[in-house]
Amino acid sequence: MPSQQTTDPSPARGSPTLREMEPKDQQLMVALRIRPLNSTELEEGATVIAHKVGDQTSRVASKTMALVLMDPGEDPEDPLRAHRSRERTFIFDTVFDQQASQETVYCATIQHLVEGVISGYNATVFAYGPSGAGKTHTMLGMDAEPGIYLQTLTDLFQAIEETQDNMEYSVSMSYLEIYNEVIRDLLNPSSGFLELREDSRGSIQIAGITEVSTSNAQEIMQLLSKGNRQRTQEPTATNKTSSRSHAVLQVTVHQRRRGGGAEEVRLGRLFMVDLAGSERAAQTQNQGKRMKEGAHINRSLLALGNCINALSEKGGSRAQYVNFRDSKLTRLLKDALGGNSRTVMIAHISPASTSFEESRTTLLYAYRAKNIKTRVKRNLLNVSYRIAQYTDVISDLRREIEHLKSKIEKQDKKRSDPSILDIQVTVPHDTEEDSRLQMNKIRAQLIGAFKEQMAMRRSLVELESTNIELHIDMSRHLLTIADWEREKTHHHSDVDSGGQDKEPVDADGEEAEASEPPEVALAREEVNLLLAEQQKTAALKAGLEQRLAHAKQKASQMEKLLPRQVTSEDQREVLQLLCRAHELEVENTELQADNLCRKNLLCQKDFVIQRYHQHRLLCEQVIQGQRQLMQANGISAPEPLEQQYRLYSRELGEGTLDRLLLQLSVMSSSLQDGPIMNVSPPATEETSGEPRGDRRELPWGATFELPQMLLERERDQKPNALGTKSLISRLQPMELRTPQPAGEMSSPPLSAQALKEMALGTKSIALIAASRRCKAYDREGGCLDSRDPSPADWRWPQASPSRDRSLDRKAGRKRSPSFTWSLQQLQTLEKHQPSVEHPLESQLSPAHLQPPKPAGKSFFPAVPVASKMKPSPSFHMDENMLQGPGVSFTFLSTMWQSNSAPSRPPLLPRDIRGSTDSRGRRQSPLPPNNPSKLQGGSAKRPRRPK
């Protein structure tokens, strides 16, 4: 067994930074294995013509190794060829000679990929070479010497086990063969021929393949042996057990952080491919069926060779056309060769002089493959995008349920009608039997149609999600271009302004034109490709929508048949069954969507904090730089500015970010466990005409909108129904939002400038806007206002909106939506805050968590404050406000008030990733899923109404 490498959970499997998510170019690794001479070759008197050059004593191979192949046809005595070399040298990443063990091969080639797979990267290993060269031996091996399959899977499960404290995994596998250009499921051969489908991202899916969930390597090996028994193997002249098909083992690993942290799901795919042997018809002496097989094998390998040629020639440029569509094999290996995968090719040859030609061709192919580059990026399933589609699916299903239920009701009425019953009783037995058979047929058809529709709906969800991912990718590239364009314009304007700023002049007297950097050229190329992909997605989507409409029509026609053709009892049963199927699907979809909403929210929160932190650092740098300049030039700042600076410094010292972290954590706690709340202000006429409180003119002239940190439940929806599209639009990640003019709610297409502005800190600004909104609340509630001389009048708002409303009415106040929103937000916080035992709280001294003193008159009646919330003696509204020339920073004074208590180390965004407990296990920084449990209560999650 291979020695297991200890895996370090933190760097590779921690939360991804933005850098980590960037795709990286990766060279395809090519290894070469020479098998020992076999008995037939020895009998034929073959000599060894392939030699590894260099030593390979260490288990892990050195950077590159060479192989020397001698041409046995060249006569050393021939004077005409005296100056021609009989040897040809090939350099590979690693070369294994006849003595290399299975373990050595594994450790030097695949072992390093395992870590990546469990943390969301794709990896592929494929064995290539002529028939009988040892491909199956390397991949599958024997009981005594297991091959790469078992060794990889053992390591994979071991790595999973080591990180199971922090991470949740689910592993599934599928095993297929491509034989004569058709795909067969080796785990379920009776399923017939399977189809390859390509989604808009170009990822290949095999429709209808059996995916088996597994929990250990042995289980997979059992499935593999079962599958191998189904694999097409025949004796040929070169190999007694020649594999006549390409076998593909796919292992899929889903990884997510345990405890519902703000993480996304990572999806790693490992392909292990044992190719059929490349062969020459003359050499294999195959005839009839074998020859036809050989032709197919060669055709697909030829297509593979062509792809390798094209890919190696383009040398990483993505513009060159590579025809993956020539064979199923190349379509399946598309990602492995030219896409998102870390790929290893293990080429195999026989060292025998009798196999010189095969060995030479194989080596040439393998040598070319070395130039191939793939672009590796972590697969993150961004969960939020699918919610909109789920909502559509749910409402569709609901409509169908209503329809079916009304049919059942009608049926019930008929049953209670005695005349109809009489008729049924008199139905002859034969007819009854016929009708039952007919009924069963219709039932099967209906269920089939339902499944088909669901599959199509899911594909639509996938497509939509892909579309949005493409959009985000495009945004990133446009951003690079926009940056460059801006720099160029800047450069030109500098040059135009003339004088000292002029660029150096080159030898010909012409101005040096700033040439476009490679990343910008690449970005332009990518944008074009992405545009093409987007068009492709749109076409696919339109096609699928058409098919779905057709399927729906067919199903409704089938339903129409029901009352005419079946007895009432059977009909009733079928309708109920259908209803149940739909209801289950609704429940399932709702659960998925619910889950996605929460994950989306938590991810956004993380991102917002990260952006905020980056922006804060930038501000700090700018301010410090300017102060140094002022000092150096003896410029004194006017007193108001100095005052603002003092405020700012104090703000930093007190760690406002920490308070924001706490606030956001409390928000997520309410979301993680509580029902989805309606805490967003409804867009009413009242606000549409005037600038909203959460919008702010920024120094660079853009208007930003508050990211929706909380979810909304539509008031008129049933309790278990999700909000409709308005909810979804609010949940769209900020990248997809363009700065909008005030009052406009739709998202116009993204412009490069808009993208730039977003990148400049939309989220952090939006966060600031959130706090401004609460400030607006303060003002509107009349509790805390810069004009109000007694901020101590502030109260926690009463948790009874109806009562507040009556007070409002009495006071003659009209509530604005932003006020209602802020109030609800505060009520949520107030409701959860005292009961939440937050890990971050333990890092704070109680004095840091002091709300303002509850005294004096207030618009809201006073409510008791939690015991640890002591009145703050040093409450100053100004502490929470920082006003700059272009933007105001206002923090939630009403949430967390600090005084001059001892300072503590500032909390940085990474702290939200959690801490490590005494046993070294990582703890989530977020409040527990169910805060009420902490209090020893027996609060149960409310059951979803059926």
Ligand X SMILES: Nc1ncnc2c1ncn2[C@@H]1O[C@H](COP(=O)(O)OP(=O)(O)OP(=O)(O)O)[C@@H](O)[C@H]1O
Q: Is 94 in the site for ligand X (CB under 6 A)?
A: no
134 is in an annotated binding site: yes
Q: Is 36 in the site for ligand X (CB under 6 A)?
A: yes
* Window contacting ligand X (CB under 6 A); options: 124-132, 398-406, 549-557, 640-648: 124-132
Binding mask 334-353 for ligand X (x = CB under 6 A): --------------x-----
Cα–Cα distance between 386 and 264 in angstroms, integer?
13
Cβ(940)–Cβ(42) under 8 Å? no
Cβ(53)–Cβ(67) under 8 Å? yes
Q: Is 761 in the site for ligand X (CB under 6 A)?
A: no
Cβ(74)–Cβ(110) under 8 Å? no
Name the token pair of 453: 């529709």
Q: How many of the other CB atoms lie within 10 Å of CB of 710? A: 19
Rounded to 10°, the helix 148-162/217-230 angle is 150
Cα–Cα distance between 125 and 117 in angstroms, integer?
12
**Residue placing its CB nearer to ligand X in the complex, 137 or 763:** 137
Determine which residue in the list 122, 163, 242, 771 makes contact with ligand X, applying CB under 6 A.
242
Cβ(623)–Cβ(651) under 8 Å? no
The residue behind tokens 């997979």 is 220
Residues 6+ positions from 456 with CB-CB distance below 8 Å: 544, 547, 548, 551
Cβ(141)–Cβ(102) under 8 Å? yes
Q: Is 52 in the site for ligand X (CB under 6 A)?
A: no
Q: Is 131 in the site for ligand X (CB under 6 A)?
A: yes
**Residue placing its CB nearer to ligand X in the complex, 134 or 681:** 134
Determine which residue in the list 276, 376, 758, 760 makes contact with ligand X, applying CB under 6 A.
276
132 is in an annotated binding site: yes
Q: Is 290 in the site for ligand X (CB under 6 A)?
A: no
Determine which residue in the list 109, 119, 166, 239 makes contact with ligand X, applying CB under 6 A.
239
Q: Is 214 in the site for ligand X (CB under 6 A)?
A: no
Determine which residue in the list 2, 13, 61, 137 makes contact with ligand X, applying CB under 6 A.
137
Q: Is 37 in the site for ligand X (CB under 6 A)?
A: no
**Residue placing its CB nearer to ligand X in the complex, 100 or 784:** 100
| Least Å from the CB of residue 89 to ligand X | 22
Q: Is 931 in the site for ligand X (CB under 6 A)?
A: no
130 is in an annotated binding site: yes
For residue 357, give the H/E element and its range. Answer: helix 356-369
Strand order in the sheet with 50-53: 50-53, 65-70, 87-92
Q: Is 286 in the site for ligand X (CB under 6 A)?
A: no
868 is in an annotated binding site: no
DSSP letters, 616-676, are: HHHHHHHHHHHHHHHHHTTPPPPHHHHHHHHHHHHHHHHTHHHHHHHHHHHHHHHHHHS--
* Window contacting ligand X (CB under 6 A); options: 129-137, 173-181, 357-365, 427-435: 129-137
Beta-ladder partners of 195: 207
* Window contacting ligand X (CB under 6 A); options: 83-91, 236-244, 674-682, 894-902: 236-244
Q: Is 133 in the site for ligand X (CB under 6 A)?
A: yes
Q: Is 132 in the site for ligand X (CB under 6 A)?
A: yes
**Residue placing its CB nearer to ligand X in the complex, 146 or 791:** 146
Q: Is 136 in the site for ligand X (CB under 6 A)?
A: yes
Cβ(899)–Cβ(892) under 8 Å? no
* Window contacting ligand X (CB under 6 A); options: 59-67, 114-122, 208-216, 234-242: 234-242
Cβ(916)–Cβ(655) under 8 Å? no
**Residue placing its CB nearer to ligand X in the complex, 231 or 373:** 231
| Least Å from the CB of residue 155 to ligand X | 21
Cα–Cα distance between 109 and 118 in angstroms, integer?
17
* Window contacting ligand X (CB under 6 A); options: 30-38, 442-450, 633-641, 892-900: 30-38
* Window contacting ligand X (CB under 6 A); options: 128-136, 175-183, 518-526, 734-742: 128-136
**Residue placing its CB nearer to ligand X in the complex, 271 or 875:** 271
| Least Å from the CB of residue 96 to ligand X | 8
**Residue placing its CB nearer to ligand X in the complex, 352 or 404:** 352
* Window contacting ligand X (CB under 6 A); options: 125-133, 653-661, 852-860, 915-923: 125-133
Give the C-alpha distances (Å, rounded to integers) separating 409 from 147, 406, 412, 576, 581: 62, 5, 5, 11, 18
The residue behind tokens 């005695």 is 418
Cβ(214)–Cβ(157) under 8 Å? no
The residue behind tokens 């020339």 is 885
**Residue placing its CB nearer to ligand X in the complex, 34 or 562:** 34
| Least Å from the CB of residue 127 to ligand X | 7
| Least Å from the CB of residue 665 to ligand X | 56
| Least Å from the CB of residue 286 to ligand X | 11
**Residue placing its CB nearer to ligand X in the complex, 347 or 926:** 347
Q: Is 277 in the site for ligand X (CB under 6 A)?
A: yes
| Least Å from the CB of residue 35 to ligand X | 3
136 is in an annotated binding site: yes
Cβ(7)–Cβ(163) under 8 Å? yes
Q: Is 243 in the site for ligand X (CB under 6 A)?
A: yes
Cα–Cα distance between 766 and 615 in angstroms, integer?
12
Closest CA to 604 of 387, 894, 891, 827: 387
**Residue placing its CB nearer to ligand X in the complex, 133 or 322:** 133
Determine which residue in the list 13, 35, 582, 795 makes contact with ligand X, applying CB under 6 A.
35
* Window contacting ligand X (CB under 6 A); options: 34-42, 412-420, 702-710, 754-762: 34-42
133 is in an annotated binding site: yes
Give the C-alpha distances (Å, rounded to integers) separating 294 from 38, 41, 131: 22, 22, 10
| Residue 781 dihedral angles phi and psi, to the nearest 5° | -75, -15
Cα–Cα distance between 481 and 486 in angstroms, integer?
9
| Least Å from the CB of residue 104 to ligand X | 11
Q: Is 246 in the site for ligand X (CB under 6 A)?
A: no
Give the C-alpha distances (Å, rounded to integers) separating 147 from 105, 233, 748: 9, 18, 55
Name the token pair of 785: 């206002």
Q: Say if residue 302 is exposed, middle or buried (CB neighbours under 10 Å; 0-12, 13-18, 19+).
A: middle
Compute how many residues bind ligand X; rule: CB under 6 A: 18
CA atoms within 13 A on the CB side of 748: 10
Residues 6+ positions from 700 with CB-CB distance below 8 Å: 757, 760
**End-to-end distance of the chain based on CA atoms, in angstroms?**
52
Length of the chain: 946
Cβ(13)–Cβ(116) under 8 Å? no
Determine which residue in the list 134, 655, 739, 925 makes contact with ligand X, applying CB under 6 A.
134
| Least Å from the CB of residue 55 to ligand X | 19
Determine which residue in the list 2, 116, 120, 129 makes contact with ligand X, applying CB under 6 A.
129
Beta-ladder partners of 271: 124, 250
| Least Å from the CB of residue 191 to ligand X | 24
| Least Å from the CB of residue 39 to ligand X | 10
Determine which residue in the list 58, 222, 241, 440 makes contact with ligand X, applying CB under 6 A.
241
| Least Å from the CB of residue 136 to ligand X | 3
| Least Å from the CB of residue 212 to ligand X | 24
Q: Is 135 in the site for ligand X (CB under 6 A)?
A: yes
Closest CA to 46 of 30, 61, 35: 35
Binding site, annotated residues: 129-136
Binding site, annotated residues for ATP: 129-136
| Residues near ligand X (CB under 6 A) | 35-36, 38, 129, 131-137, 239, 241-243, 276-277, 348
